[in-house]
Amino acid sequence: MPIGTDDPDVHLAWILDSLGLIRRRGQGESVEDSRGALHRLMRDQFLAEPRRGWDTRTLQEASGMSSTALHHQLVKLRSAGILSVVTEERWKHHVLRNGSLPHTIELIANQARTILGQRLAAFDNRIVKSDERMVLEALQQGAEDLSFRITIAESGPMNEGDDELHHLMRDLGYCGARGRIEDDLALRTFDVLANSLRPITADVLMDETSETRTRVLGVLDRFRASHMVERVLLSDRIPHDVFVGLTHQWVSRGERWLMGRGGLSRLDDVVSTTIIDALKQNQLTTETVENVLNNVDLEARCLLVNTLGGRVPYGYRLAGADAATVKRRIEYRVERLLRRLEMITEKYADLIQ
């Protein structure tokens, strides 16, 4: 959020970015760095004269944009619900909805709430209730390393026999920006998670869907970005993963590597010595590893899994024990964003007056 500044451009950039209208070049690019043609078109034309109807010829002359670039930006603004089109004689006039940005955002917010609530009803009969699913604590509420993102769109045309949930997966953006209608990986991944009574790993999802790790993780990241899915640490699997890594690296590279790049030297001397002695005597077991690592903090255990060449055992689950809870999680996060949008838009309107 634009905190600590009264620059109207910063507020407008945040509003457009929150509506998903700005495509950033990289993860490190800030909202301020992403200002471009769309930002200038909104600021210099539609917000400078909010009640004026703009035809494309006049907009081209005022903005200096090519007809192709202008058409692209107008499509984005209409799709987001910012502009409406009024046809007079043979000219189409583009106008800010209801004549002010706060009114426009209020319309968009109310429409988004209604559409999302109606469309998430498709979850009702697809999610198996399971309290066991929620026993482990999530790494963080929602997506701990991803920016919140969801597409809210009305239902489009469906053919007889089409799965409504499959269309919902596509319309909410879970199939990706260029998702094909025949690509049902998001639906299949959702069904596996919805029928699982406990968190499951990406490897299980790969087996169930017969897809590559890259594609499965892509779908999971989009699920997590909308707070529909949470990632949890399967800490009970760490001793086994450490045992597998230790025994493999002991045979392949030996004691010196384990103490160096293998990460054992980062642990207490008692821990590393106990492990090395057990390996030398061919007596290392999963139970031994579990007992030795019992007093090692969780972060250090996760790091040891990585330094031994393994993957930290993360599990994925729906963000609720039942459909109602999952829907509330998504709706809560959307409502939080919409309220921020309304607040920042009101402040922006005050700043430009």
DSSP per residue over 266-305, as a string? GS-HHHHHHHHHHHHTT---HHHHHHHGGGS-HHHHHHHH
Backbone φ and ψ of 262, nearest 5°: -70, -20
Distances from the Cα of 134 to the Cα of 161, 186, 216, 280, 321, angstroms:
34, 22, 22, 41, 6
- CA separation for the pair 62, 43 (Å, rounded): 12
At residue 236, the 3 state secondary structure works out as helix
Catalogue the E-assigned strands of 54-137.
83-88, 91-96
- CA separation for the pair 238, 297 (Å, rounded): 12
For residue 13, the one-letter residue type is A
Confidence of residue 324 (pLDDT cuts 50, 70, 90): very high
> Are the beta carbons of 96 and 104 closer than 8 angstroms?
yes
120 DSSP β-pair partners: none
Model pLDDT for residues 28-85, shown as the tens digit of each residue: 555 555 578 899 999 999 999 999 999 999 999 999 999 999 999 999 999 999 999 9
> Are the beta carbons of 189 and 220 closer than 8 angstroms?
yes
- How many CA atoms are closer than 13 Å to the CA of 143, on its beta-carbon side? 18
Q: Which sign, positive or negative, has the C-alpha torsion 280, 283, 287, 292?
A: negative
Length of the chain measured in residues: 353
Q: Residues 156-166: what's their mean pLDDT?
A: 84
Of 143 and 4, the structure prediction assigns the larger pLDDT to 4
Short-list 233, 250, 258, 194, CA closest to 313: 233
Model confidence, pTM: 0.84
Short-list 156, 142, 151, 187, CA closest to 169: 187
**Domains in the chain, start-ordered, CATH in brackets?**
8-99 (1.10.10.10), 119-232+321-336 (no CATH), 236-307 (no CATH)
Model pLDDT for residues 8-27, shown as the tens digit of each residue: 999 999 999 999 888 755 55
Model pLDDT for residues 272-311, shown as the tens digit of each residue: 999 999 999 999 999 999 999 998 999 999 999 999 999 9
> Are the beta carbons of 193 and 181 closer than 8 angstroms?
no
